[in-house]
Amino acid sequence: MPTPIRTLPPADRPRERLWSLGPVALTTVELVAIVLGTGSGGRTSLDIAARLLEVGDGSLRRVVQRPRAELLQAEGIGPGKAGRLLAAFEIGARLSSEGRPPIQRIREPEDVARLFQSRLRDLQVEEFHLVALDSQSQVLREVLVTRGLLNSSLVHPREVFRAAIAEAAAGIIVVHNHPSGDPTPSAEDRAVTRQLAEAGRLLDLPLYDHVIIAGDRFVSLATMGLL
């Protein structure tokens, strides 16, 4: 029998991850599980969501394109869950039709600072963000990886590179803040940077820079020669 979601550690529960890290940090399966709400027939909402995506070969777009009646035939999905899914799909379509802001292009550390400084400079805790870039250095996606004290156990390469791989990124930049107001890289900052750079080389997904923001100041570890 599947392990009930409520018995999982809080860090592994979709809703808790959404509130602690934000929706962009969640996998598609986790997001669909939240929309479904509950499990059914001995299966958790995560199990049902994963099975639903398998039917669409892992693509939400293929799931949306299938006849509505097929949702009701999927394991663990009744009229209530199917209705929530259809509503969520329509909300996504309407958001997309409203248009997207101009794509950001990162050419230098100052561009990263402009993108994040207003959000990070006054925070009282550290936040660690990923910026996934395409081959033209345009921003594909931003992801909040973790919030709290920065250390190598919290900032795991798996969490950093998962979203970048999903976006077929050509490279990444990471950025975090120093609530102290001093942007000087700590020993832990340097260790995390080395760890991510090594993982990026193995994955052929390079780490271009690690930018630290502190108040109105910032430093680039790439510019400092620490990458």
Q: Say which amino acid occupies 69.
A: A
Q: Count the neighbouring beta carbons within 10 Å of the beta carbon of residue 27.
A: 17
The residue ranges of every structural domain in the chain are 5-97, 109-220
Computed over every residue of the chain, the mean pLDDT equals 85
What distance in Å separates the CA atoms of residue 208 and residue 202, rounded to the nearest whole number?
14
Backbone angles phi, psi at 168, to 5 degrees: 55, 45
Quote the pLDDT of residue 35: 92
Q: pLDDT grade, residue 43 (50/70/90)?
A: confident
The pTM score is 0.61
Dump pLDDT digits (tens) for 71-126.
777 788 888 888 888 898 888 878 776 765 565 889 999 999 999 998 898 888 89
Dump pLDDT digits (tens) for 157-206.
888 898 899 888 999 999 999 998 999 999 999 999 999 999 999 999 99
Dump pLDDT digits (tens) for 7-32.
677 667 888 888 888 888 888 889 99
Is residue 221's pLDDT more than 50? yes
Dump pLDDT digits (tens) for 51-68.
888 877 778 877 877 777
* Residue 171 per-residue DSSP state: E
* Residue in 167, 165, 185 with CA at minimum distance from that of residue 175: 185
CATH topology of domain 109-220: Cytidine Deaminase; domain 2 (3.40.140)
Region of 173 please: left (phi>0), alpha (psi -120 to 50) or beta: beta
Quote the pLDDT of residue 152: 42
